[in-house]
A and B are shown apart, each in its own frame.
Chain A
Amino acid sequence: GAVVSQHPSRVICKSGTSVKIECRSLDFQATTMFWYRQFPKQSLMLMATSNEGSKATYEQGVEKDKFLINHASLTLSTLTVTSAHPEDSSFYICSARLAGVYGEQYFGPGTRLTVT
């Protein structure tokens, strides 16, 4: 149980275009999902917290107009990187949190974004 999927797993896009990444909880409902980015050989940095039916909460320094997050249902959150630039190239990982006070987070397999 507690499987989280991401799509696509890899994407290459040209500078200036937008890319949408999907995160789905397959066998549980997640009122809260999280988006992280990870640079090579570095740790995960939380970008934003995505709450179903409400606006996402962005971490300091993350541009909300550039990284659009939509959490339209209890099993799906999307991250859209708008007007992508080469510096946006990174590994983007989502997670979904089980309900409860000590809810564990389960992570998707990640999406490798390369902007050329």
Chain B
Amino acid sequence: SQQGEEDPQALSIQEGENATMNCSYKTSINNLQWYRQNSGRGLVHLILIRSNEREKHSGRLRVTLDTSKKSSSLLITASRAADTASYFCATGSSETSGSRLTFGEGTQLTVNP
């Protein structure tokens, strides 16, 4: 089974609203990464947060990591129609120094104009 579980599986919002996606995992991690995938395309790396970090920002993105709860969240502020995509979290295992990623099931985000 997948290491990561994401919720919600699907999220539909209006342009300008904020979108929050959550990811939970089960084992010890070295890092957690978030990726975006447009339909039928490759993955775009959004942000990496290390296991010793609690929060990270990049533009309109804010990622939090709570290792005690084994969970992370991705917040996209002031969403745009172009943000419509699938979003995946991926955890890098401590056992492999973070090199081997395990992906969550993904959240399909739809931003309506």
Contact = CB atoms under 8 A, between A and B. Distances in A.
Interface of A: 2, 6, 32, 34, 36, 42-46, 49, 91, 93, 95, 97, 101-110, 112
Contacts of A104: 33, 45, 48
Contact of A43 (B33, B40, B97, B103): B103
A97 B99 contact: yes
B104 A105 contact: no
A43 B43 contact: no
- The interface size bin for chain B is 20 to 34
Interface of B: 2, 30-31, 33, 35, 40-45, 48, 50, 88, 90, 92, 97-106
B41 A110 contact: yes
Contact of B45 (A32, A105, A110): A105
5 closest Cβ pairs, A-B complex: A109-B42, A107-B43, A44-B103, A110-B42, A43-B103
18 contacts: A2-B45, A36-B103, A42-B105, A43-B106, A45-B103, A91-B40, A93-B42, A95-B43, A102-B48, A102-B50, A104-B45, A105-B33, A107-B35, A107-B42, A107-B43, A109-B42, A110-B42, A112-B40
Nearest to A40: B40
A36 B90 CA distance: 13
